[in-house]
């Protein structure tokens, strides 16, 4: 499948739509989810165009993979959610109910998140 340049996160990356930025580095951007499902709900996205987790994990350069994971770690550290606990989610395609076709990791925390799958 071809990457859709008009998806919402692509527009955020181009500065065509606003976002509440939390952190960024050369390869990734972290911002608040517009419809938070928990007191802390942050999305981390790569700056380059990858549609899904699979595409990112298979095609991103090592430097990019590392920078992305580091930013997730920095978000956790900034929000101080390690001790209380948190959850990382990457919804993918139909069964995963992925709505925005630009790879993203949800960082959720700040409350008891319940069981993993519901």
* Of 23, 33, 53, 76, the one binding ligand 5GP by CB under 6 A: 33
Q: Are 115 and 18 in contact (CB under 8 A)?
A: no
List of residues 6+ apart from 17 with CB closer than 8 A: 8, 11
Indicate the residue among 5 and 61 with the shorter CB distance to ligand 5GP.
5
Distance separating alpha carbons of residues 97 and 107, to the nearest angstrom: 16
Residue 102 Cβ, how far from ligand 5GP at the closest point, in Å?
8
Instruction: Examine residue 78 and tell whether it contacts ligand 5GP (CB under 6 A).
Output: no
Strand, helix or coil at 88?
strand
Binding segment toward ligand 5GP, per CB under 6 A, in 21-29, 33-41, 45-53, 108-116: 33-41
CA distances from 5 to 9, 12, 14, 101 (A): 9, 11, 10, 9
Q: Is position 104 annotated as part of the catalytic site?
A: yes
Q: Which residues bind ligand 5GP (CB under 6 A)?
A: 8, 17, 19, 31-35, 91, 97-100
Residues known to be catalytic? 104
């Amino acid at each position: 499948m071809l990457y859709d340049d008009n998806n919402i996160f692509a527009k955020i990356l181009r500065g065509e739509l606003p976002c509440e930025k939390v952190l960024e580095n050369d390869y990734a951007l972290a911002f608040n989810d517009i419809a938070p499902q928990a007191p802390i709900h942050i999305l981390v996205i790569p700056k380059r165009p990858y549609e899904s987790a699979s595409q990112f994990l298979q095609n991103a350069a090592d430097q990019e993979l590392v920078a992305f994971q580091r930013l997730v770690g920095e978000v956790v550290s900034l929000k101080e959610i390690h001790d209380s606990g948190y959850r990382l989610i990457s919804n993918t395609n139909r069964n995963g109910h992925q709505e925005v076709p630009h790879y993203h990791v949800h960082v959720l925390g700040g409350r008891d998140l319940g069981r993993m799958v519901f």
